[in-house]
Structure 1
């Protein structure tokens, strides 16, 4: 019976390694996806800033053209001032000049703000370009790295599956099926050690008589709580106990 339990213990070790490797392989797409999402977010940010910059430049050109026209009108009004014929015309031209001067000053202030906004957008755009290029490199590197890692993992997985098959073939079919059934429902653990009448799979106390039977190692016994196959590991003898 000891030999069967030893084979089950080794089988459990292999199954734990297989589960670990499969978890890493399964997680690989999510790691690449995380970088991909950051990259796509950077592209969206870049496109948004680029669109705002383009719109600002377009508005700037329209406002600049409008300002030039107002400046031209201001010059005309100033010229007109020297040729007025009466007080009424003079006052009218003065009002026109005041209105144009105020409008020109407002437009110049707006253009200055828009120019500053241009510098801000261009600075942000430059940073987004650097971020985008950095994430492109990271995405390429992580994809290559994960491809190499996955190959190693699949190679290791193939070896473990072969080892598993070798151990499983040596175990009595009914015992193996019992182990598989429990493992499927107990977080991939189908066999557990027992110590001081406690199952180390579920940490529940087992009946004293069952503990005695497990220690005798004459048959396959299972935990009444978690149904895992139980095995007993005798304590290591020290020099004092040997005497």
Structure 2
């Protein structure tokens, strides 16, 4: 396997392992949070139970207070009645009688309050029992959650150890400079390598320059995204899938024999490998442009000869495959030293 392709394959493996490590790490960190939520709810239930107990105690204290008040008031009434036996005047007797009547009203008021507390005691008791049942259920739930969390944490820690060991192994198969770049970008962006499809980085969705796209497709050197700095790679299988799923296109017409411009494919040209040849007639002269088939870069200078290109460049046409394509001289000049993808893909 080509060294660059092997590096990309190992980087993809490394990225998959890193994703799994992050997932496991996040899961381990999330488990205590889930338990904390239940414990927080448990604290609320405990507070509710304590409040119910406090209400019962407050009612009991109030009842004792009212009973004490009644006892004191009855003592006063007994005292006032004893005093009434020794009074000398009618006014003194009326005053003592008034005190007795007031004390009797106070006794009735305290007895009513005690009766109200007795009626509420049933409600208080139900509140306490309900809080106790809820607390018991939640304590059982949190014990279960804690045990599950302990088991899951132990499993995740084991998987983490295995993933980290696998990561160390994969790292040994990657060039050191690529590894440093990957880890630096991955640290800040969560991933360090991205597929290129439809002339754009699939991670940041930014379109690539034609030259950059062609370099990625060639797979001959390391290319990084100018936008997100991720290492880029091209998957031909994805291109094949998209081609199969693409709607049917009308059949192209064959190029005309007497066309003023012709494109050719040559599997080998002057030691430069596979190339596209663009031959054009204009003003009694013929021009020839040679482009690298993988990168779209212009190879050498534009060669101009007198006459029709069929007569001017017969050695180039012989053994070449005629292609479709027709762009003006202005377009070709605008392309400069690199063909756009619209031509390479056509």
Task: Name the TM tier (shorter chain).
Answer: 0.7 to 0.9
Task: Tell me how far 1:80 sits from its aligned partner.
Answer: 8.5
Aligned partner of 1:38 in structure 2 is 41
What is the 5 A alignment of 1:1-243? Answer: 1-71=4-74, 73-74=76-77, 87-88=90-91, 91-186=94-189, 188-234=190-236, 235-237=239-241, 238=244
Q: Which has the higher helix share?
A: 1
Distance in 2 separating the partners of 1:174 and 1:205? 25
Q: More displaced, 149-158 or 95-104?
A: 95-104
Distance in 2 separating the partners of 1:97 and 1:66? 14
Distance in 1 separating the partners of 2:232 and 2:209? 13
Q: More displaced, 205-214 or 123-132?
A: 123-132
Distance in 1 separating the partners of 2:245 and 2:129? 73
Aligned length: 240
Instruction: Provide, for residues 118-166 of structure 1, a one-character-per-residue CA deviation record: whole Å limited to 9, x for no partner.
Output: 3333222212211221121112111110011111111111221122122
Distance in 2 separating the partners of 1:85 and 1:155? 100
Distance in 2 separating the partners of 1:239 and 1:95? 106
Report SS of the residue matched to 2:232: strand
Task: Tell me how far 1:202 sits from its aligned partner.
Answer: 1.1
Task: Tell me how far 1:210 sits from its aligned partner.
Answer: 0.3
Q: Which has the higher strand share?
A: 2
Task: Tell me how far 1:236 sits from its aligned partner.
Answer: 2.7
- Report the TM-score when normalising by structure 2: 0.63
Gaps of 5+ in 2: 249-346
Distance in 1 separating the partners of 2:178 and 2:95? 109
Task: Tell me how far 1:222 sits from its aligned partner.
Answer: 0.4
Task: Tell me how far 1:97 sits from its aligned partner.
Answer: 3.7
Gaps of 5+ in 1: none
Distance in 1 separating the partners of 2:69 and 2:126? 27
- Report the TM-score when normalising by structure 1: 0.87
Aligned partner of 2:313 in structure 1 is none
Q: CA RMSD in A?
A: 2.6
Larger relative contact order, structure 1 or 2 (CA cutoff 8 Å, min sep 6): 1
